[in-house]
């Protein structure tokens, strides 16, 4: 990881787009980015693309995300993680990594993390001119709902109905999927879909243990609600 940068992923994706852009078998190219890939998709811009979809993407920078994750899962390490990022931003390295954080802040990862943290997904989303679908799962233990909301609001300020969001938190079992205030911003469509049982790896789960198992259990299929939402969005553009 010492030499890899986010720009390398963007370059690879752009090469693939350029390869297929004139292929007569396809009516258009639609970009979907999952988690880190959500940022990569945004950085591709709009050239030769028909739409952009963010799957479990974030609005905040990755350093903020990781610090927040520690705050929710291992609160005692939140300040340590924040201090590590501060040192990394200031000096390009972390001299002494906390033993409990080596998996994240290993020396081989540090330059990549600093490069990644330099990109602000919210800022990149505000520049986008593509028809956009943002999908967020309420069972996602890594990326909280506020990240999907923030990403949507980067393009459409006050897009989301926060009272409705609170109802979703309280009564997710009553919902299949929720589309919040689809809007038009200078002719560019932005849609936000919230799927109650969808976890970070895009599978539907009903408990914490199911969520853990779904990461490695290949027999658990992708969420049917996810497939339906994606299909509806893509067909509305290229149907």
Mind listing the pLDDT tens digit for each residue in 209-220? 999 999 999 999
User: Whole-model pTM?
Assistant: 0.86
- The more confidently predicted of residues 210 and 161 is 210
**Over 70: is that where the pLDDT of 90 sits?**
yes
- Please report which confidence band the pLDDT of residue 3 belongs to, taking 50, 70 and 90 as the band edges: confident
Q: Which of 8-17, 64-73, 158-167 has the lowest mean pLDDT?
A: 158-167
Mean pLDDT across the stretch 104-123? 96
**Over 90: is that where the pLDDT of 183 sits?**
no
Q: Which two tokens stand for residue 141?
A: 């233990």
What do you get for the CA distance between the two ends of the chain, in Å? 40
- Please report which confidence band the pLDDT of residue 239 belongs to, taking 50, 70 and 90 as the band edges: low
CATH topology of domain 6-60+121-238: Rossmann fold (3.40.50)
pLDDT of residue 131: 92
Could you tell me which residues are beta bridge partners of residue 195?
137
Longest dimension (CA), the chain: 56
Residue ranges matching CATH 3.40.50.1820 in the chain: 6-60+121-238
**Over 50: is that where the pLDDT of 233 sits?**
yes
Instruction: Look at the alpha carbons of 103, 106, 108, 113 in this order and tell me if their dihedral is positive or negative.
Output: positive
**Over 90: is that where the pLDDT of 106 sits?**
yes
Tell me the C-alpha distance between 58 and 214, whole Å. Answer: 21
**Over 50: is that where the pLDDT of 236 sits?**
yes
pLDDT of residue 1: 60
- Please report which confidence band the pLDDT of residue 163 belongs to, taking 50, 70 and 90 as the band edges: low
- Please report which confidence band the pLDDT of residue 176 belongs to, taking 50, 70 and 90 as the band edges: very low
Q: What are phi and psi of 192, to 5 degrees?
A: -120, 125
- Tell me if 203 sits within 8 A of 221, measured CB to CB: yes
Tell me the C-alpha distance between 24 and 28, whole Å. Answer: 9
- Tell me if 120 sits within 8 A of 140, measured CB to CB: no
pLDDT of residue 157: 61
Mean pLDDT across the stretch 148-154? 86
């Amino acid at each position: 990881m010492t030499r890899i940068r986010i720009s390398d992923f963007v370059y690879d994706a752009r090469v693939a787009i350029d390869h297929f852009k004139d292929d007569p078998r396809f009516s258009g190219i639609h970009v979907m980015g999952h988690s880190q890939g959500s940022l990569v998709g945004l950085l591709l811009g709009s050239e030769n693309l028909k739409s952009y979809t963010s799957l479990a993407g974030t609005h905040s920078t990755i350093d903020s995300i990781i610090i927040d994750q520690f705050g929710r899962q291992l609160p005692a390490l939140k300040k340590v993680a924040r201090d590590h990022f501060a040192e990394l931003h200031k000096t390009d390295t972390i001299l002494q990594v906390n033993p409990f954080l080596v998996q994240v802040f290993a020396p081989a990862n540090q330059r990549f993390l600093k490069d990644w943290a330099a990109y602000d997904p919210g800022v990149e989303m505000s520049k986008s001119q593509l028809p956009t679908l943002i999908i967020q799962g309420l069972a996602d233990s890594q990326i909280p709902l506020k990240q999907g909301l923030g990403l949507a609001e980067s393009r459409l300020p006050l897009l989301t109905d926060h009272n409705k969001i609170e109802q979703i938190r309280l009564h997710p079992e009553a919902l299949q999927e929720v589309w919040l205030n689809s809007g038009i911003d200078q002719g560019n469509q932005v849609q936000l879909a919230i799927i109650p049982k969808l976890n970070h790896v895009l599978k539907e789960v009903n408990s914490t243990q199911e969520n853990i198992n779904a990461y490695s259990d290949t027999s658990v299929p992708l969420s049917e609600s996810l497939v339906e939402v994606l299909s509806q969005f893509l067909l509305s553009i290229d149907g």
